[in-house]
Chains A and B, each alone.
Chain A
């Protein structure tokens, strides 16, 4: 059942606070990890079969009555689900030890599962308003999760995130309302057909502007990025990993891509806007990351830069660029998730995120240091790690599109990325161990295991990238390349 991708997270979330009354730590940890592992395996087996057999559109029934609940599990949504569950599994494993001192694990996991359920619903939705509602489900749970530490900075960051998200929401709703008033439907296929058949270019461009603003803010694209460097570093490390690795991509990039490539169709004007937004984000994010002393803020600015690569790839619109952008969603989710978890490990062991107060930690925290190297090199795009291939595809795609200037800047920014990741390595893990850090120890078992597993996945994907491309990326590329014809043919229910 396709609906299990949404039902399992929500049902478990509803019961977790009650389960916490029975067992404060063991049962919430166990059930959440098992649920996410099940969803990961389920997406890899059942989900893959559904997509392979082209039977991904499902009506939900109750006693043989259609309930008007329609899911569409296609190559693109399955790829996103796979990325969501893969990173989430690493994060929930890490949370077993990391969230011990935060208290109320049941509520933490409940919010976490609602966020996962919201993201799953968003990628399975076939209706514009449903996309918006699930986007809000994920967003509201993430406000609570960002503030979870209850310190001043965390509450302030959550408030800022909430306020700016509300602005994004207003623009999205305005766009949705305008589309509804013109087309009389909110179903993606209907909208695609009516915009295609009728001359409504003017309204389509207004909606495009609203959506670029709304989803661009959710994706933290420059110039809508100001909330991210406060919100993501302030959250507990597992949540930073989820927000930076997944949420900005699902609620920003996925929604934007689905609408622009499958519903509106990628016109040359929109393509140009997306490419410029992408390249500006790449440069601004990379340059701002260079000047940071807080390890998490540096990673947050890096996320802005990397999302720029993804948008640049989708904006270019060629096969290779779309393939690279999709692959970069997965690779960046894994590598940035890993780096945020490692920053949590460093903070957990040293009590600081300030790079000026660190040095020589590699001697005391060898696993964290080694996995940080893997994550850093992957994000920077060093071969043979996974991040290299996705960036390579994006750059080949840009060359295919004859966007030579964009390709040149993308390569240049990759070098800047490598530079600031080397700074993290040098200042935190290499050199002489500081006296204040003499008693630092490696992180507990589950935290170390989680980062090791994600680092291993980064390496395996880097080496075995052709398998990932053929099995997971190509079906998604086909759907996006099929453009509005796909929505008109399959998303009209």
Chain B
């Protein structure tokens, strides 16, 4: 279980860096989607079920659809992918891990122990249907917004279009 958690974390960082460094926007958007999926997995491991669901549905789902639609509509000619990421990745990754360890060490050493407060926890169904109903309504709004945005992007402006 712990290994899976670590693999997900590494994959999250890897795909996030890929999303930043890739020149092809479509590949970058897909990398972002992959990063979001791994982030959702991490959130599930951390028992933040509803955050994981939101991450998958909103970021990995809707936002990716918007990204891909926009890229599809605006994309020009294809171009060759730079080989720079291949060299930069390992260096960036090592640098990131060092900084990450330093920051986490600093944060954890100064984090006040407020464990007596009970977090909003429970099974996924309890959280979504009983504890955070209001967010469910808002998520319906997000889905509507995403669907209508895609419809707006692919609409016909007039009879000649």
- Name A's B-contacting residues (CB within 8 A): 6, 10, 13-14, 17, 60, 67-70, 102-104, 107-108, 110-111, 114-115, 117-118, 121, 125, 127, 129-130, 133-134, 136-137, 140-141, 143-145, 147-148, 150, 152, 155-156, 158-159, 162, 166, 173, 177, 180, 182-186, 194, 198-200, 202-203, 206
Interface pair A144/B153, CB less than 8 Å apart: yes
Interface pair A17/B135, CB less than 8 Å apart: no
> Which residues of chain B from 106 to 156 have any CB-CB distance to chain A below 8 Å in the complex?
107, 110-112, 114, 117-120, 130-135, 137-142, 144-146, 148-153, 155-156
Name 16 A/B residue pairs within 8 A (Cβ), A-sorted.
A17-B148, A107-B155, A110-B144, A118-B141, A129-B132, A133-B54, A141-B145, A141-B148, A143-B149, A144-B152, A155-B74, A182-B111, A184-B117, A199-B112, A202-B110, A202-B112
Number of A-B contacts (CB under 8 A): 153
Interface pair A6/B120, CB less than 8 Å apart: no
Q: Which residues of B contact A150 (CB under 8 A)?
A: 73, 153, 157
Q: Which residues of A contact B144 (CB under 8 A)?
A: 10, 13-14, 110, 114
* Per-residue contact bits, chain B 50-70, to A (CB 8 Å; 1 contact, 0 not): 010010001100110011001
* Docked complex Cα distance between A280 and B131 (Å): 42
* Docked complex Cα distance between A180 and B120 (Å): 9
* Docked complex Cα distance between A115 and B48 (Å): 27
Residue B81 at the chain A interface, CB threshold 8 Å: no
Which residue of chain A has its CB nearest to the CB of B74? A155
Interface pair A121/B141, CB less than 8 Å apart: yes
By size class, the interface of chain B is 35 or more
Q: Which residues of A contact B58 (CB under 8 A)?
A: 136
Contact partner, A114, options B119, B148, B153, B157, Cβ 8 Å: B148
Interface pair B67/A162, CB less than 8 Å apart: yes
Which residue of chain A has its CB nearest to the CB of B134? A69
Residue B77 at the chain A interface, CB threshold 8 Å: no
Interface pair B74/A152, CB less than 8 Å apart: yes
Q: Which residues of B contact A200 (CB under 8 A)?
A: 112, 114
Q: Which residues of A contact B138 (CB under 8 A)?
A: 118, 121, 130, 133-134, 136-137
**In the complex, the 8 A-B pairs of residues with the closest C-beta atoms, listed nearest first:** A144-B149, A184-B117, A140-B145, A133-B138, A141-B145, A137-B141, A184-B119, A103-B157
Residue B158 at the chain A interface, CB threshold 8 Å: yes
Closest CB in chain A relative to B58 CB, distance in Å: 7
Interface pair A68/B130, CB less than 8 Å apart: yes
* Docked complex Cα distance between A22 and B73 (Å): 29
Q: A69-B134, A125-B134 are in contact. Are A183 and B149 (CB under 8 A)?
A: no
* Docked complex Cα distance between A278 and B120 (Å): 36
Q: A182-B112, A185-B117 are in contact. Are A69 and B152 (CB under 8 A)?
A: no
* Docked complex Cα distance between A194 and B117 (Å): 9
Which residue of chain A has its CB nearest to the CB of B32? A166
Contact partner, A133, options B63, B142, B150, B157, Cβ 8 Å: B142
Q: Which residues of B contact A183 (CB under 8 A)?
A: 114, 117
Q: Which residues of B contact A111 (CB under 8 A)?
A: 145, 148-149, 152
Interface pair A144/B141, CB less than 8 Å apart: no
Contact partner, A155, options B70, B139, B142, B146, Cβ 8 Å: B70
Which residue of chain B has its CB nearest to the CB of A200? B112
